[in-house]
Structure formats: structure tokens, C-alpha cells
Chains A and B, each alone.
Chain A
Amino acid sequence: MPEAESRDLFPGALEMMVLRLLKVEPMHGYALVQRIQQASGNLLQVEEGSLYPALQRLLKDGLVKAEWGVSATNRRVRIYRLTPAGAKHLVRAVSSFERMFQGINLVLALGEG
């Protein structure tokens, strides 16, 4: 695993990705980690454990709900699902991220055009 960069997500990035994935379908923690790595083409290596404090924060803020259930592989797992508040929050977070990303790109593109 490449060292250093793996953890340097900006604050809130992990939460945003979790919300986005949960928007597709409810799932449990392990599945979330796998999905993030797959979806990012293994560009993002999330320290698996760091997902859980993030999930606790989302739970506390009421952006996701959790309940114990059974997974596709027949394991007892805690399944998270997006709440309406979480959906709204996701829209806001994505748009503000996009603006930030745009801004950074503009700066990085300086002198190349």
C-alpha cells in the first residue's frame, strides 16, 4: 500500500463519499470500504477503521440511520441507510466540493493556456 498520501483526504471527504454510496443502496461498513476502493479504481486507500468514527458522526448528525440486519453473504451486519437530511446534505456537500475543485483547477491551469 502506498504510504503517506493514503490518509490525506480533506476533512469531510470520507463522509461525502459514504453518503454518495449510501444514496445508491443501503450497505454495511465493510461493504462501504470495498466499494470506495473499487469505485475509485484503487486510487483512494481508505484506512478501513477510519470509516467508523465517520459513520458515528453521520449517525449523530442524523444524516444516516443504522440497523442490524443480514448481509448478502448471510452475516449479521449493521446496515446504514441515507436519511432525507443526509440526501440534502450530500447535495450541498457535492456542490461546494465541485466549486472548490473548479477553483483549484483554475489556479493549477495558470500559465498553461
Chain B
Amino acid sequence: MSILDRVFRRRRIYDDLHEEIRAHLDEKTEALIAAGYTRAEAEREARRAFGNVTALQERGRETWQWPTIESLLMDVRFAMRQLGRAPAVAAIVVVTLALGVAATSTVFSWTRAVLLDPLPGAADASHVMMLESTTSSGSWTPVSWLDYRDFRKYLKSFDGLAAAYPMSLTLGDVERPERAPGELVSTNFFDVLRVRPALGHFFSSANGDVEGAQPLVIIGYGLWQRRWHGDSAVIGKVVEINRFPFTIAGVAPKAFRGSMPGEEVELWVPAAMVGQIMPTIGSMLHDRDWRTFRVLARVAPRYSAAAAGDEVRRFGTFMSTRNGGRSAGMSANLMPLWQSHWGIQDALRAPLLVLLGACGLVLLIVCANMATLLVARATGRRRELALRTALGAPRRRLVRQLLTEASLLAFTGSGLGLFGSLWLARSMHWLVPSFAAPTLLDPRVDGGVVLFTTVLASVVTFVAGIAPALHGSRERFRDTLRDGDRMSPGVYATRLRSLLVVAEMALAIVALVGAGLFYNSARRTRAVSPGFTTTGVGMASVSLTLAGYDSAAADDFLRRVSDRIAREPGITSVSYTDYVPLSLSSGSWEDLRIEGYAPQTTENMKVNRAAIGPGYFKTLNIALLSGRDFTFDDDSAHTPVMIVNEAFVRHFFAGRAAVGARVHGWGKWFTIVGVAKDVMQYRLTEPAKPYFYVAIRQVYRPEYGYTFLARGAAPVDQTVRAIARAVASVDATVPVYNAMPLFDYIGAPMRGAKVAVRMLALMAMVSLLLAAMGLYGVISYAVAQRAKEIGLRVALGARPVDVLRVVSVQAGALLAMGLIIGLATAAAVGRVIAALLYSVGSADVVIFAGSAAAMTLIAIAAVGVPARRAMNVDPAVVLRAD
């Protein structure tokens, strides 16, 4: 039956009922007239015998109504009137909820951008997983091209495997070079990710990855808009990438930002073109041990992720046995993208998860807040509810009424909250350092987030509404009516409210302690010295492949630029390196053999390293503990030399002298000439690991970007400009990037933690505010409810002190319970946080004490203010008032 039918049918039923009742009254009237009544008397008597016509007609109609729409509207209208009577409570609840929802959906949109939806623009992205090789020591490593080809050829559980290698590329000619983040990808990359071009077409994967066969490039939507102003004639245009001509084949859709979660890629070229882009590393396609690729695998729908993972592991182990050599002991692993190791999600995972947890806490507080306030109000409204019950309102109806009120609050609150999160999302750049990935600066508040919020609102409504509803409907109305408000609220109500208040205090303490621990962690992280000086150091990176520099020319270039920088006024030292410590990249490593050291059979002898120029240690202020620094004489004509760190010495030369010992790498023997102090290379939290330095002139590899570092007494910006100027004056065609203070640049590995800490501080403030509002609201309401009792006591001669004592004993008991439970829970949660994050002491006395003190202060204020007010009221007025 259609809705229209129902409406019309119902109309007819109502008309029938109406007419029927009128006929009844007529018949009765006539019967009475026949019995001797006058008409007027008869009509009156007929009506009296019938009862309340309107009410009965209404009850008759109710039988046919959908309980949902019509009485809901009525309930809503009524609820609005009711809420309007206690605007303060309504306002607190709505604001509380708005804050909670705004914070939660903001964090959710972040989490979504980084962890949940790492491949926007790709269809069925949930089936795409990451395949990583594992080394014999069990740690992860990227996948070599040859391994990738084998995986792709032999693995059965996948609908395709794509490889990608992130790399900055230089777009354009000498006149207009632009550095853009790019990915070298297998030609099936877009097919595997199921991305559709916005314009043109993607690579053809029909012929596999034939080296040098497809000089095609796909450009990102943003780049297309920026550089070509969205001109569709761009397809077929020839552009230079790293000085090699490529034809633009297609434009990626706006949503697609490459395969690195949280980062934005703007150029995609076939990995098989690597020989053209960077001739010196073309051999990576033939070297099984050159592990550089991320492998994205689309699990076929008929396989489970676990089954696919099993196959990957089995096949990975099989391959390493078959290939032997440096693959021995290796295997492979399959994991969801958000668990993969390469990319920003690795750094943000822990903070985001903790943030989500904090959001959960805030939401719990919000629920507790709503419930306590609504329960308190329901208690205050006992008379109204009792009266309505006495007048015949069924209990179900009252419950529904209370739930409607709760929903009204919930939806208003979450609506406002959504508004708030839109605003928060846009103002995210206040919180996020400017160099963060654009995807993080622009977290979309989209359908998913809206859905999330709506679900939240419903859950909150249910949780918060159910308590007062149950409680309200349980009232024994006769007692209530008889007693009026003279009695204190019933035992049940008091107990429930006490429970909620205690829970709320406990939650708030957990939130406060959590935020405090985080804050401390952040402060300590900032205070941790990386082991080298960053203040006053400027940097700028160059790419020498552009100008086709061979090793001699590059050597000459690097030397001439650093000479020129050194001549700038105020510069005290200058150097260059292929790896900036604490930058986000994974750096390079080399397989070493060390004279006099017998490695364990499974030991990973890949040791990380940097290739540097002379003056590096002086520029970064790293102490050389023994031996000497590199000089310009350490070149290909002289004995290869190496400087190692303390951990290297400890690990490989336990007790032996390191300086003078020989180490094999790059196919030749190096002599250790110096030992440098340990410094942090990758993370501020890493334990010292073996690390070594070689002279660029002896191991030059043009594919790496080189970075000039200079320190001076002058303001660091001036130093940065001096470096850029020096590069331009030696060769203006060499593109310069990352020209900035070193301190800004290495903030990157800390950015995840930094952002999380700011968010957490915000959350802690919100939860403190919420808890304060909730506690204040509830306690002061309870005290106000006892105004009569207080008035009575004062009238009977109680001194203010006595009254205050009575009130605070009750509040004190609740506070004590809340504190105990909260602190115990916080201690447990603290251990979890400590496991997730670095340098968090789980038992930080100051934080725990501070949180407890804050909570106590709030409780005192919440009791004191209304109690004072109650005591100052003329007892006569209170007692007389009903």
C-alpha cells in the first residue's frame, strides 16, 4: 500500500469515526427525549454519558497512526518547549556535544586521510596491500625490481602487482626547471590501483615493462592546473624530465595523489625509463640486491588477505633459497597500507591511534555529561512526569518523550559540532607545520565523516538518553505527587547520578593524564639533542643529473660552490652530503665486510652510511673522537678512507683499535681514518646504531641529490640565501630545492609527534572543559535541588559551616572515588601509551598529581558557588516556595 493510499484511507477512517460518534450522540439524545427529557437536557446528558468526545475520538484515531512521524513531531515540539524551560542545561549539553563531535570528526578525518583511506582516487582500495621484503634479521626492506617481476609472475592470489619508487624529478628545460615529487612506476600501476585518467590515457601495460619503450609521463591534476592552466591540449606535448624528452600521455584524476599515503605525487613515469632519467642507476632493473621499490598488490576477491599473505611468505622464502647469495635468509610480507613502513603513515600511526583513543575518551565524557545532566533534570521534573502519569500518559510515551528530548539535543549538538569540524579542518594549518603534506593540510570533511558524526550522535543519544528514560519512567508517581519536592531525590536517582559523576571524573582524569604524558614526551623530544648542531645551519639541495654532470664535473662543481659559500661574509664552515641526518628518507646502506670481524650467519651486514665532503663534522659540530676528517685529497687517486661512529666501533671492534682497520664495500677496501661521535640519523628516539661516512669524491653517485650545509654567525636565512646564490653563480641551470634552515627541515621526522601533541593538548583542554562543565552542572544542580533542605537547616539555626560540611562530605566522597578510579585507570592507560610512544614515563608523579588537583579544584568550585548562594537565600523564601 502506498503512503498516499494510507493517508487517504486514514482520512476516511477518521471521518467514519467522527460521523459514527455523532450518530451515537443523536440516537442517545432522541432516546432521552422520548423518555421525557427536554432537548437541551437530553443533549447534555448524552454527552455526559459518552465522556470526553474529543479525547475519545483522539484515542480512537491513535490506533491508526504511525507512531513514528506524527507523534514524533508532537514529541519534538513538546521537547523543544521543555528544553526551553531549562535553557542552561540544554546549552551546556549542546555545547558539550558540539565540542566533542568537532574534535572527534576532525581527528577522524585525519585518520581517514592517513590511515583509513590511503589511496584516494583508487577504486576498491581496500583490496590493495603492501608487499615488503624482509631481511634475514627480520627487518623490512624495499623490493628489488627483479624480485618484483618474479612476485608478479608467480603469485596466484593477486589481481595484479604494481611497483613504485618515489623520487623527486626535474620537470622542464633549463629555462623553467621545476622540481616535482614523482614516482617511477610499473606500467600496470594505474590498472592495479584502478585509477581512471582525468584526461588522456595511462601507460600501456600490454607489452610489459620494456626498458626505454615508453617515454610517457602522467601528470598530476594540481600540476596540470598550475603549470598548464588546465589546458586539455597538454596531451601529446613533449616535456623534459631530468633533461630527457617525455610525452604527456594523461592527467591523473584530482583525487589521486600517488601511492604514498599522506603525500602528494605529481609526476609518474615508467620505471623502465629509469635508464633515460638517471643513466647511472639504470642497472637497478637488473640487480636483485638493489632494493628500492614499494610493491602494491591487489588481492583477488576470491582470496583472503591471510591466504594471500601466506602465499607471499612461502614464495618469498622459496625465492631467497633459490636465489641464494645476498637474498639468503630473506622472505616477504604482506600488510595493509597503513601498516607499511615507507611513508608518513609510519610516523603518524601511533600518535593518530592515541588521538583516536583520546577522542573516544572525550566522547565518553560527553555521554556521561549528557546523561548526568539529563538525569538531574529528569529528577527535577519528577512532578511533571508524575502528573502526566497520573493523567494517564502511558509509560512508553514518557520514555519516548525523554528520548526525543535527548535526540533533539544530540542532533543539535552534533550539527553544531560538524560546523565546528569544518572550521577546524580549514584552520588545520595553525596546528600543522607548513611543510606537512598537502593531504594533511586539507583533510576533507566528506560523506564518511558526516556519517561518522551521525552515528556518533545516535550512539550518544541512546547511551545518554536511556539512563534518564529508564529512571524517569520508574518513578512511583503517587509518592512523588504526595511528597512534592520536599524530599530529597530518591535513592535510585542519587545513586545513578553519583555513578555517572564518578565515571565522568575518572574519564576526565584519564584524559588529563594522557595529555600530560604526551606533552611531556613532546617536550623531552624537543629537548633531546640529536647530537649535532642545527642552530645557525642553513641548507640547500641540488640535483646534478640535470646538467648531466659526470663524476669529475660534479666533484668540481661541489668544490667550487662550497668555496664560494665559504667566501660569503659570516660563514664559518661549509660542507656537503648526500644524506641530511633526520630527514625523512631512508638513506643508503652498503654491505660491508670488516677485517677481523666474523658476522653471525644471519647477521645483516648492511650498514647505513652517508657520503660527505670535508668539513662536515665541523659544520654540524660533531666531535671527532680520534683520527682525522676527510680532506679534498681523499679522492679517487688516493686510498679509499672511511670514518665510523662510536656504535660501529663498539659493535665491530669490541676492544680493538678501529683507526687503521680495513673495511670492504663498493668492491674495494677502505681504511678507517677517524671515529666520530654518535648522532641521531633517522629518528630522535633511535638507539645508537653502527654508521659510517665515506668521502663523496671516492664513491660519487650522481643520482643522489646533494645538499650543501653551511654554518655562520649571520642570521640563518642569510646563510640559506648565500648558499643559493653560490650555486646560481657557479651554474644557474642546476635547480636548487629545500633551501631552508636545517632546523626547519629536520623538524619533519618530529612533525607527526608534534602535530599529535598539539591535537592532544587541544583534546585535553576540551576534555577538561567538558568535565568541568559537566561536574559543575551536575553538582551545582544537586546542591540547588537541596536548597530547601539547606534553607530548613539554616532556619533551624545551622551555621553556614555546618551546611557547607554536609554538602561537601557528599561531594568529597564522590570526588575521592572518582580520583581513585581515574588515577588507577590512567596508570594502566599510561603504560599502553608508554609502549606506543617514546620517552613517556608512565609514572609521572607531577602529571598525576596535577590532574587530581585540577579535578579537585573543579569539584570545590562546583560545590562552593551554589552552596554559598543557597545559604544566602532567606530561609523563609525557600521554605514557602513550592
Closest to B27 in A: A30
User: B50, A78: Cβ atoms under 8 Å?
Assistant: no
Interface check B20, CB cutoff 8 A: yes
Interface check B176, CB cutoff 8 A: no
User: B23, A50: Cβ atoms under 8 Å?
Assistant: no
User: A78, B20: Cβ atoms under 8 Å?
Assistant: yes
Q: Which of B26, B28, B57, B64 contacts A52 (CB 8 A)?
A: B57
How many chain B residues have a CB neighbour from A under 8 Å? 24
Interface check A48, CB cutoff 8 A: yes
User: A49, B50: Cβ atoms under 8 Å?
Assistant: yes
In the assembled complex, the CB of B72 is this many whole angstroms from the nearest CB of chain A, namely 20
Give the distance in Å from the alpha carbon of A52 to the alpha carbon of B53 in the complex. Answer: 10
User: A56, B51: Cβ atoms under 8 Å?
Assistant: no
Q: Which of B17, B23, B26, B51 contacts A48 (CB 8 A)?
A: B51
Give the distance in Å from the alpha carbon of A57 to the alpha carbon of B63 in the complex. Answer: 6
Give the distance in Å from the alpha carbon of A73 to the alpha carbon of B51 in the complex. Answer: 24
User: A53, B60: Cβ atoms under 8 Å?
Assistant: yes
User: B52, A49: Cβ atoms under 8 Å?
Assistant: yes
Interface check B56, CB cutoff 8 A: yes
User: A75, B27: Cβ atoms under 8 Å?
Assistant: yes
Interface check B16, CB cutoff 8 A: yes
Question: Which chain A positions have C-beta within 8 A of B49?
Answer: 47-48
Give the distance in Å from the alpha carbon of A73 to the alpha carbon of B26 in the complex. Answer: 13
User: B23, A60: Cβ atoms under 8 Å?
Assistant: no
Interface check B59, CB cutoff 8 A: yes
Give the distance in Å from the alpha carbon of A85 to the alpha carbon of B615 in the complex. Answer: 101
* Contact A49:B23 (CB < 8 A) given known A30-B28, A56-B60, A57-B63: no
Give the distance in Å from the alpha carbon of A53 to the alpha carbon of B51 in the complex. Answer: 12
Closest to B16 in A: A78
Give the distance in Å from the alpha carbon of A30 to the alpha carbon of B20 in the complex. Answer: 9
User: B53, A49: Cβ atoms under 8 Å?
Assistant: yes
- Chain A residues 6 to 65 lying within 8 A of chain B, measured CB to CB, are 28-30, 33, 47-50, 52-53, 55-57, 59-60
User: A50, B56: Cβ atoms under 8 Å?
Assistant: yes
User: A49, B51: Cβ atoms under 8 Å?
Assistant: yes
User: A30, B51: Cβ atoms under 8 Å?
Assistant: no
* Contact A48:B50 (CB < 8 A) given known A29-B20, A77-B23: yes
In the assembled complex, the CB of A21 is this many whole angstroms from the nearest CB of chain B, namely 16
- Chain A residues 66 to 100 lying within 8 A of chain B, measured CB to CB, are 66, 68, 73, 75-78
* Contact A29:B59 (CB < 8 A) given known A56-B17, A60-B64: no
Closest to B58 in A: A53
Closest to B54 in A: A49
User: B21, A49: Cβ atoms under 8 Å?
Assistant: yes
In the assembled complex, the CB of A104 is this many whole angstroms from the nearest CB of chain B, namely 24
Give the distance in Å from the alpha carbon of A66 to the alpha carbon of B23 in the complex. Answer: 15
* Contact A56:B63 (CB < 8 A) given known A48-B49, A78-B16: yes
In the assembled complex, the CB of A76 is this many whole angstroms from the nearest CB of chain B, namely 7
User: A78, B23: Cβ atoms under 8 Å?
Assistant: yes
- Chain B residues 2 to 31 lying within 8 A of chain A, measured CB to CB, are 13, 16-17, 19-21, 23-24, 26-28
Q: Which of B52, B53, B64 contacts A56 (CB 8 A)?
A: B64
Question: Which chain B positions have C-beta within 8 A of A75?
Answer: 23, 26-27
Q: Which of A49, A60, A68 contacts B56 (CB 8 A)?
A: A49
Question: Which chain A positions have C-beta within 8 A of B52?
Answer: 49
* Contact A52:B21 (CB < 8 A) given known A47-B51, A60-B64, A78-B16: yes
User: A53, B23: Cβ atoms under 8 Å?
Assistant: no
Give the distance in Å from the alpha carbon of A92 to the alpha carbon of B448 in the complex. Answer: 53
Give the distance in Å from the alpha carbon of A28 to the alpha carbon of B64 in the complex. Answer: 20
User: B23, A52: Cβ atoms under 8 Å?
Assistant: no
- Chain B residues 154 to 182 lying within 8 A of chain A, measured CB to CB, are none
Closest to B23 in A: A77
Question: Which chain A positions have C-beta within 8 A of B24?
Answer: 29-30, 33, 48, 52
In the assembled complex, the CB of A82 is this many whole angstroms from the nearest CB of chain B, namely 18
Give the distance in Å from the alpha carbon of A59 to the alpha carbon of B16 in the complex. Answer: 12
Question: Which chain B positions have C-beta within 8 A of A29?
Answer: 20, 24
Question: Which chain B positions have C-beta within 8 A of A52?
Answer: 17, 20-21, 24, 56-57, 60
In the assembled complex, the CB of B392 is this many whole angstroms from the nearest CB of chain A, namely 11
User: B63, A53: Cβ atoms under 8 Å?
Assistant: yes
In the assembled complex, the CB of B241 is this many whole angstroms from the nearest CB of chain A, namely 76
Give the distance in Å from the alpha carbon of A50 to the alpha carbon of B392 in the complex. Answer: 14
Q: Which of B51, B53, B59, B63 contacts A60 (CB 8 A)?
A: B63
Closest to A31 in B: B27
Q: Which of B23, B59, B63 contacts A76 (CB 8 A)?
A: B23
Give the distance in Å from the alpha carbon of A59 to the alpha carbon of B56 in the complex. Answer: 16
Question: Which chain A positions have C-beta within 8 A of B62?
Answer: 53
In the assembled complex, the CB of A50 is this many whole angstroms from the nearest CB of chain B, namely 6
Question: Which chain B positions have C-beta within 8 A of A78?
Answer: 16, 19-20, 23
In the assembled complex, the CB of B65 is this many whole angstroms from the nearest CB of chain A, namely 11
User: A50, B63: Cβ atoms under 8 Å?
Assistant: no
Question: Which chain A positions have C-beta within 8 A of B50?
Answer: 47-49
Give the distance in Å from the alpha carbon of A73 to the alpha carbon of B23 in the complex. Answer: 13
Give the distance in Å from the alpha carbon of A55 to the alpha carbon of B13 in the complex. Answer: 12
Question: Which chain B positions have C-beta within 8 A of A33?
Answer: 24
Question: Which chain B positions have C-beta within 8 A of A47?
Answer: 49-51
Q: Which of A48, A59, A76 contacts B28 (CB 8 A)?
A: A48
Q: What are 22 A-B pairs with beta-carbon distances under 8 A?
A: A28-B23, A29-B20, A30-B24, A30-B27, A47-B50, A48-B24, A48-B50, A48-B51, A49-B21, A49-B50, A49-B56, A50-B56, A52-B17, A52-B20, A52-B56, A53-B56, A55-B60, A60-B64, A75-B27, A77-B23, A77-B27, A78-B20
Please give the residue numbers on chain A whose beta carbons come within 8 Å of chain B beta carbons, in ascending order.
28-30, 33, 47-50, 52-53, 55-57, 59-60, 66, 68, 73, 75-78
For the complex of A and B, list the 7 residue pairs with the smallest distance between their C-beta atoms, beginning with the closest: A49-B51, A49-B56, A53-B59, A49-B50, A56-B60, A56-B63, A53-B60
Please give the residue numbers on chain B whose beta carbons come within 8 Å of chain A beta carbons, in ascending order.
13, 16-17, 19-21, 23-24, 26-28, 49-53, 56-57, 59-64
5 further interface pairs, Cβ-Cβ under 8 Å (given A48-B50, A56-B63, A75-B26)? A48-B51, A52-B60, A53-B60, A68-B16, A77-B20
